[in-house]
Amino acid sequence: MYRRARQILGNSADAHEVVQDLFLSLLERPDQYAQDTTLTTFLYVATTNACLNRLRNHKNRFRLLSENASMLQLTGDTLSPEQLLQVRRALLEMPDDLARAVIYACVDGLSHEEIARLLVCSRRHVGNLLSRVNDWGKSREEQSC
């Protein structure tokens, strides 16, 4: 969970906080884990969601975007600090379902089938989400011109 959080958030302090908050949440409300998936899958999805929520938190948004965090691997290519900032900004602005699909596909390199299991949807829907990411990016570029 920590490695996952560190990969998305880009720093140890925030990753530790997210993991600690997740474990506290599970202790307080163990019914969150519905046991219709494996515990590992549940924790993987919960960590991703908690990290996305953290990125969207206005109090931390400025700090996270201005930090020059460690490099993030996207499909085997190391991003420059400028590209990393662009990715993080895009994740903050994207609807949640698109952001999750992007992280699972680009950061984790998961197949459509694996993403579908995590998002509890069809492979076709995953393909549609990833297509929407391209459309979303184009519409953002047009708005900035």
Looking at the fold, whether 70 and 6 belong to one and the same domain comes out as yes
Looking at the fold, whether 31 and 70 belong to one and the same domain comes out as yes
The answer on pLDDT for 128 being more than 60 is yes
Residue 114: alpha-carbon gap to chain centroid: 15
Q: How many domains in the chain? A: 2
Q: Report whether 88 contacts 74 (CB < 8 A).
A: no
Per-residue pLDDT reduced to its tens digit, 67-110: 433 334 444 455 566 766 777 778 888 888 888 888 888 778 88
Domain that holds residue 118: 97-145
pTM: 0.55
